[in-house]
Amino acid sequence: MGKAIKTVNAPVTEGFLLSDIRRTGSSFRMLRASRMTTKGVLSLLTAAILVFSFLMAGLPTGARSVSANSRTRRSNMSPDLERAIVNSPFGTVRVIVDTKSSSNSSTFARLATKIGAMGGVVFRSLNHNKSMSIQIPASAVAALAADNAVKYLSLDRKTVVTGHLETTSGAADARNYGTPDTGTIDGHGIGIAILDSGVYAAHHAFNSRVVASIDFTGEGRTDDPYGHGTHVASMAAGNGHVSSGAYTGIAPLANIINVRVLDSLGRGSASNSIAGIDWCIANKDLYNIRVLNMSLGTVAVDSYVDDPLCQAVRRAYDAGLVVCAAAGNSGKDANGAKVYGSIHSPGIEPSAITVGAANTFGTDERSDDGVATYSSRGPTRGYYTDGDGVKHYDNLIKPDLIAPGNKIIEAESPNNALVTGNPSLDSVVTANTNHKMMKMSGTSMATPAVAGAVALLFQRNPNLTPNLVKAILEYTAQPLAGLSNYEQGAGEMNLEGAVRLASLVRTDLAGLTLGDALLIDASPTASSTIAGETFNWGGGILQKFNFVYGPALLTTYQGIYASGVLLSDGTIVSNGVLLSDGVLLSDGVLLSDGVLLSDGVLLSDGVLLTDGVLLSDGVLLSDGVLLSDGVLLSDSILADSLPGSVAQSLAMSALGGDLTAGMSAAPDTDPIH
């Protein structure tokens, strides 16, 4: 058992009440809100109710109720402006006023005069004097809205710089899919456990959100002298404090649980990681841990059925946790040729979300994205040997999906071994130790992007099962052209679609059975627009040896979404033929003809041998050779085929560190992790 080093609770800070903003001349001052008596609270609530009543009374009759015509606005005010007034009835609000007037009409001047008489200030005219930006007392907004010249009032919302990661992943778009109960979709309240080399908690990307730290390495420390874990944690949950948000993580307000299982040189063991997983299971309720990130691994030898690290991941899954695991960085050999069958453990575990690395080439647009050449490819090649000495390979389709993982800039721990050994990793963003950033590549970087995504899904719909989280991410993913399921899984993660779909899933999942309606809106748009480009969702879910697809996966509850089964349990092999499991999958779910190949076509016959090995031209033959598309990493060359020694290959490590030494340079490779 590891020794608990410290528990850091996020401090409760005194804030400010918007009602304490007072206008003095042309300036505003904010008064500290330190105490408020019970009588004062009641007075404030009473005043809020009165102002809200006045607000509703002042609105036009047609704006106070929903019209029979669904296209008629309920109000000529934006909902967030209405909430801002109710929340702070004695404060001021920034508003954009859209008028009904034509350009440069006298109406604009009249409204500006009226706003001034109400105690407001006009900051600037917009749209050729048809709109204006103002600040006005909240109590005056209703009267302004009732003016016949006003077309619409909206809150003058704050804008922030969005970084490449949150933009290209769709996280920036997903921020807006919150409700008054959830707030902005930023991961707040969700715990993400980072099983890695430690986290430098003082970095300002975290702002006291490292709520617990524990060490399982025996070194008696929980900081990050190696440098891997801090970078990983900030991808999942780094805030926008540095460089005006240019390096914001996926879930910037999620809590971080620092579970140190790799030492000062980035080395560890399966037992360290298993102890860390068991600790997370035991403490999941204390820290609201919903997702574990494992940007580490070792070469897979055993079948997932026997692999103790995979068994630990399964225990976490059975406890209701989602485990995100890196696929590995063994996708090519020393000559740059593709290598298949190189998924690392615990990424071979069916219950894990196994993540490969996408190369975005530094652009927010996704049309040029591909799979990073180093990203490990499936199928999984763990195996068991029967009594006759015959090896039976797992041959599962992995990874499950891909996410941005190439040349990602995120938080840097001070004087870490990675930057010391390779100074070019420092991004030279600033000299401030608590703001420093570094650039890294690898499936280690892609994995926390998905872990952060899981946090967003749970924030938006806390009742999702781990299987539904995985299904939503796969169904909404964007398949990339020219790449097989063994390379990209279901496709590239799409958070705009995933969070939007999660918001439509019913919350009473525990009572649903096969075929029941799954969504509160049965017809969501199955496409997304990110960085100005629109694409269709893949619309399918990976199974062990192929995938299933069809709108029924979206509209009706499937047995594979329940707890106690795997998402990949929807198909079975019977007499050597792959069939749909009618108990777990409803009518309307289609079984694909096989695995998507790199030329964009499907394996035509879909026949499997009983040990799960695909048998067809250009795909796997039972002797462990992959035709046409690369080489297969079979058990006979598992360790020796990888650069570095056998001992290094079999050691638990931050993925890529020692295993990529000597690989030839490629457009998508920095030192890989």
pLDDT in tens, 59-78: 333 333 333 333 444 578 88
Can you give the pLDDT at residue 319?
Answer: 96
Q: Catalytic residue positions?
A: 196, 228, 444
- How far from the centroid of its chain's Cα atoms is residue 85's Cα? 33
The answer to whether 196 and 228 have CB atoms below 8 angstroms apart is: yes
Task: Give me the architecture of the 164-654 domain, per CATH.
Answer: 3-Layer(aba) Sandwich (3.40)
Given the DSSP bridges, would you call strands 547-549 and 540-542 parallel, antiparallel or unpaired?
antiparallel
Can you give the pLDDT at residue 103?
Answer: 57
pLDDT beneath 70, residues of the chain: 1-74, 102-104, 157-163, 575-577, 593-673
Backbone angles phi, psi at 353, to 5 degrees: -90, 105
Q: Token pair of 37, please?
A: 């008596």
Which residue intervals of 6-105 are DSSP H helices?
Answer: 38-58, 79-87
- How far from the centroid of its chain's Cα atoms is residue 574's Cα? 37
Q: Token pair of 8, please?
A: 């850091």
Backbone angles phi, psi at 228, to 5 degrees: -80, -50
**29 burial via Cβ count (<10 Å: 0-12, 13-18, 19+):** exposed
Sheet holding 296-297, edge to edge: 267-268, 652-654, 296-297
The conformation of residue 298, written as its DSSP 8-state character, comes to: B
- Please provide the CATH number assigned to the domain covering 36-155: 3.30.70.2980
SS3 state at 404: strand
SS3 state at 155: strand
Can you give the pLDDT at residue 593?
Answer: 61
**What CA dihedral angle connects 559, 562, 568 and 570, to 10 degrees?**
-10
Count the Cβ atoms, other than its own, within 10 Å of residue 563. 13
Can you give the pLDDT at residue 111?
Answer: 92
The answer to whether 643 and 661 have CB atoms below 8 angstroms apart is: yes
Q: How far apart are CA 141 and CA 422, in angstroms?
A: 58
Can you give the pLDDT at residue 430?
Answer: 79
Do the domains 36-155 and 164-654 sit in the same CATH topology, yes or no?
no
The closest alpha carbon to 289, from 388, 190, 401, 417, belongs to 190
Can you give the pLDDT at residue 615?
Answer: 36
Q: How far apart are CA 29 and CA 373, in angstroms?
A: 56
Domain boundaries, the chain: 36-155, 164-654
Beta bridge mates, 291: 192, 322
Q: Token pair of 483, please?
A: 């790449």
The answer to whether 193 and 277 have CB atoms below 8 angstroms apart is: no
Can you give the pLDDT at residue 9?
Answer: 33
